[in-house]
Amino acid sequence: SSLSLQASDHHSKPFNWKAPALILAFEFLESIAYAGISLNLVVYLGTVLHGTTASNAANVDTWNGTTFLTPFLGAILADTYWGKYKTIAISIVFYLIGLLVITASAIIPSLQPAPCNGSSCPPATGFQYFVFFTALYLISVGTGGVKSALLPFGADQYNDSNLEESKKKQSFFSLFFIAINLGVFISGTVVVWIQQNVAWSLGFGISSICLVVATVAFVAGTPLYRVQLPTGSPLKNVIMVFVASFKKRKVDVPVDSALLYEGDDADLSNGQSVKLAHTDGFRYFCHFN
């Protein structure tokens, strides 16, 4: 059997530690930016836009659900059409626009209702809600591409066939999740406090600045990155496995493993595929007929 690799020479570019370092920096700053919006969203909807408790909870739940679903679309685009780098770059544009509009809505008086006067709190107008939630869902679109593609893009910077790089790759995964949690921690303590005790506009502005700096750092590292070409969605391959297992459920598998499928000799010779050892389990997957 064989395992197909990307038909690109991305590993021909020498490893540069700055590439994964910039990706880690991007993730750290992006985590601050995202958490600066998501952690305090219910409070903002209630205290600034004067929404009801029920509507605020429903709106936040809907947005969170959408935000966790968009990475599926981002992954398909990255794997099948655009590639990881292009998916991240395009998604950042939506992300930035959403953050900047939300920051502007917290600064411009006409984009938020008048402050409460005693027990009277005028609700936000339809236009004010439209501006805010349009920006919010632009962030959802942006995070969908970033969160689905950034970690595997970082992994692409390491060549698994190089023992030294393979060891560094293991450390990269640990550092990546440390960057996520550290960013959320800073946002949940410092940024949230600023939003509720100083100004919402400043808190949202910090999120916007973090993403701007992250974007500049990410783009600056473009010459250093190893960029793989899109090779197709893994979901398609998973479906093919289930179809193959059903079609071959009664096939007679030869005892001699040399008679099993070994892949295309041309692909094996030019390095686009690597041969995997046959195992005793699921041998019928390697039966070509």
Q: Contact, 66 vs 140, CB < 8 A?
A: yes
Listed in sequence order, the residues at least 6 apart from 205 whose beta carbon sits closer than 8 Å to its beta carbon are 103
Share of the chain above pLDDT 70, in %: 81
**CA–centroid distance for 35 within its chain:** 14
Mutual angle of helices 53-76 and 126-155, in 10-degree steps:
40
Q: List domains and CATH numbers for the chain.
A: 16-224 (1.20.1250.20), 248-286 (no CATH)
d(CA 155, CA 229): 14
d(CA 169, CA 157): 8
Confidence of residue 110 (pLDDT cuts 50, 70, 90): very high
Q: How far apart are the first and last CA of the chain?
A: 14
Predicted confidence (pLDDT) per residue in 183-240, tens digit? 999 999 999 999 999 999 999 999 999 999 999 999 999 999 999 888 776 677 777 7
Question: Does the model's pTM come out above 0.95?
Answer: no
Confidence of residue 286 (pLDDT cuts 50, 70, 90): low
Q: Would the pLDDT of 6 be above 70?
A: no
